[in-house]
Amino acid sequence: MLALGMISQDQYREARTATLEIAPDSAGQFAGHAEYVAELARKLARERFGDDAYTRGLNVYTTVSSVRQTMAYDAVRRGMEAYGRRHRTASADGSPQAALVSLDGDTGAIEAMVGGTDFSTNRFNHATQALRQPGSTFKPFIYAAALERGMSPGTLINDAPLDNSSRWQPSNDDGRFLGAVTVRQALADSRNLPAIRTLQSIGIPYAVEFASRFGFSSKRMPRFLPLALGTGTTSPLRLRPPMRYSPTAAIAWSRT
């Protein structure tokens, strides 16, 4: 402004020596409690532009909705407060953590993301950095791999115990076995044994290779049949492809 003649030398010197005042109620927070979103955007900008990201005056736009972000934050807080009451912890800001990612089912765009219970005390983003077993939300990847190998939604799979020679004898969530079921029914009902038999059919190496196309780390996928039940590890954000299926999969992300 001095160079443009918009302020005098006295005004320039006064501005240079003035103490920067920060609003006392901000505490580094962002509207809608989007601190984890803002930090992720900062990291991505830094990765792309280096230190120039801080000096080029960039405008960074996200797909996050302020309304959905507030709803997501409130949902996490209510859930953690309820957890605190059940387990008699002091508050939702203690050691237990939670994460929530809300995506557009058609585009995969992030509409809301909460990476933890309190950004000011823990900046580790549990939505993008914490590794958890995906559980039954991994089953769509097994069936998708099988479809690529020629299986169809109407293909019949045996929902029955494994061969007696197997030392591992998994069951279904309801404790029942239905016999021959279609791929469509097995996926809709999240049946365990059909998923395991599908993995047996296509082969574990191919299933690992197929899932790695969607961002899963091959190093974090065990080369055993329990892989069909989601015994590998990944972050909540990596589960974007099957998000529409997730509500039927009875998955629960454990706390740290």
Residue range of the domain that includes 177: 135-246
Q: What is the pLDDT of residue 181?
A: 97
202-230 average pLDDT score: 94
Instruction: Give the residues across from 179 on adjacent strands.
Output: 159
23 — pLDDT class (breaks 50, 70, 90): low
Which among 126, 103, 82, 125 is positioned nearest to 253, based on CA atoms? Answer: 126
**Residue 159 CB-density burial (10 A; 0-12 exposed, 13-18 middle, 19+ buried):** buried
Q: What is the pLDDT of residue 240?
A: 64
Both tokens of residue 21?
Answer: 């005042």
pLDDT at 256 > cutoff 70:
no
Both tokens of residue 23?
Answer: 């609003």
Domain count, the chain: 2
Q: What is the pLDDT of residue 90?
A: 55
Tell me which of 104, 130, 156 is where a domain ends: 130
Q: What is the pLDDT of residue 2?
A: 87
68-109 pLDDT, tens digit per residue, is 999 999 999 999 999 888 887 655 456 788 999 998 878 888
- The domain spanning residue 240 has which CATH number? 3.40.710.10
For residue 203, is it within any domain?
yes
State how far the Cα of 69 lies from the Cα of 16, in Å rounded to an integer: 38
Least confident of 27-36, 51-60, 93-102, 197-206: 27-36
For residue 18, is it within any domain?
no
The model's pTM: 0.68
Query: What's the mean per-residue pLDDT of the chain?
Result: 86
Instruction: Give the residues across from 158 on adjacent strands.
Output: 180
Judge if 121 and 140 occupy the same domain: no
State how far the Cα of 133 lies from the Cα of 235, in Å rounded to an integer: 8
Amino acid at 61: Y
For residue 140, is it within any domain?
yes
136-147 average pLDDT score: 94
CA 171 vs CA 168, 177, 178, 196, 233: distances in Å: 10, 8, 11, 11, 21
31 — pLDDT class (breaks 50, 70, 90): low
Q: What is the pLDDT of residue 255?
A: 38
For residue 112, is it within any domain?
yes
Judge if 126 and 210 occupy the same domain: no
Judge if 212 and 114 occupy the same domain: no
